[in-house]
Amino acid sequence: MNGVERETSRLAGLHEYRLLDTPPHEELRAVVRVAAAVAGVPAAALNLIDEHRQVQLVTVGFRGRDCDRRDSMCGVRLHTGRPVHLPDARLDPDYRDNPWVTGELGLVRLYANAPLITPEGFVLGTLCVFDTEPHELTAEQMARLRDLAGVIVAFFEGRRQTRLTAEFAAATEARKQWAEALLDGINVAVIALDTEYRSTLFNRAARDSHDPDVDLNAAPVGVAERYQIYEPDGCTPVADDETPLIVALTGGGPVIGKEMILRGTRNGTVRVRANARALHAPDGSISGAVVALHDVTAEAARKRLVEEARSRLATANAELRRSNTDLTNFAAGVSHDLVAPLAAVGGYLELLADEVTGPAAGHVAAASRAVEEMRDLIRSLLGAARSDPPQDCR
């Protein structure tokens, strides 16, 4: 990470703590007072360095004021992340022309600081002590100054973690409320349990599907009786160890599409299709289970009506095939019982036609034509009876 990238990350860390331009906490004032006492100096400050300025968050022994970052003594060696100890700042070339030394902003002689270093290694600013008279701090005093700087950073970190926890809790609660509102808006019953069989979710549709006085946290015994759950026949109670939620919670899931009958709901007796899955903790262990109960009462009724219609249609088709068979058999009987005698009549008429003359011949010819018309009629009847029967309409 180059200097520009590191400074960008440092500033991002500083702003993440949300310290700038906020009222100082009394705890921080106490730490800065202790720093001045440890160093035996009249003045101390907690300084934060942002992009353009030095912010004196807490001061002791003088009236603090912000200044340009270029005028900051704490910002001179900030990038090194090491403490600074100057018995007389006028003797150090990096500091002797600083306005806090020259008298423009102050008359600092002794100057010492301990950097405020975050757990990520970024320097937010310094805890500094100073005096208008030159003198030197001991190694013990510098060590305690570094300790106090660590206390300040720990305070910053604790406050940041508290804020993040509160924000996370608020966001979690908002998401929870949104999820509950969403689940209460659907017509699918959703129920969730933890590993102690305590209800963690019971949406509106689930409440409508069960007795409002049912004990949601009872032991997983007698589940079918408590919730009025039956097998699809509507008579056989579902065994406890076959209840979808318990199957999923005990590692036997997922359960997909198990149909059951619920009695005693606000809508009377309903048929539901259950889908249940286990919920898992980050380490992979089962932390609970959730089941969704889809009301398929109307769907089951439609299926029943369709099956009944198909059964009636099959019966009608069978009756039609039987009628067609009877008609074919009837046609065969007609061909034997009518065609043969008619052929004999036609033969006798042919003989008469050779024997008679005059008006009688006309009568014989008319009778012969009638016989032929009868033959055509019988042939048509037989043709219709022997044609292919209609196909089943399925």
pLDDT of residue 72: 95
pLDDT of residue 385: 62
Helix (H, G, I), strand (E, B) or coil at 9: helix
pLDDT of residue 64: 86
pLDDT of residue 386: 61
Nearest partner of 234 among 291, 206, 272, judged by Cα? 272
**Which part of the chain has CATH 3.30.450.40?**
3-164
Instruction: Please tell me the distance from the alpha carbon of residue 394 to that of residue 207, in angstroms, as a whole number.
Output: 42
- From residue 208, give the alpha-carbon distance in Å to each of 203, 220, 274, 337, 345: 9, 21, 16, 74, 85
pLDDT of residue 149: 96
187, 295 contact by CB (below 8 A) = yes
* Angle (deg, nearest 10), helices 26-39 and 139-184: 170
What is 3-164's CATH topology? Beta-Lactamase (3.30.450)
297, 271 contact by CB (below 8 A) = yes
pLDDT of residue 273: 92
220, 246 contact by CB (below 8 A) = yes
pLDDT of residue 300: 67
pTM recorded for the entire structure = 0.54
CATH architecture for the domain at 316-386? Orthogonal Bundle (1.10)
Instruction: Please tell me the distance from the alpha carbon of residue 240 to that of residue 223, in angstroms, as a whole number.
Output: 6
Q: What is the DSSP letter of 338?
A: T
Cis peptide before 134 (omega within 30 of 0): no
Weakly modelled stretches of the chain, pLDDT under 70: 1, 211-217, 219, 264-267, 300, 331-336, 384-394
Nearest partner of 128 among 41, 22, 47, judged by Cα? 47
pLDDT of residue 216: 65
pLDDT of residue 393: 38
**Which part of the chain has CATH 1.10.287?**
316-386
**Which part of the chain has CATH 3.30.450.20?**
186-295
What is 186-295's CATH topology? Beta-Lactamase (3.30.450)
> Which residue is associated with the tokens 């004021």?
65
pLDDT of residue 362: 80
pLDDT of residue 142: 96
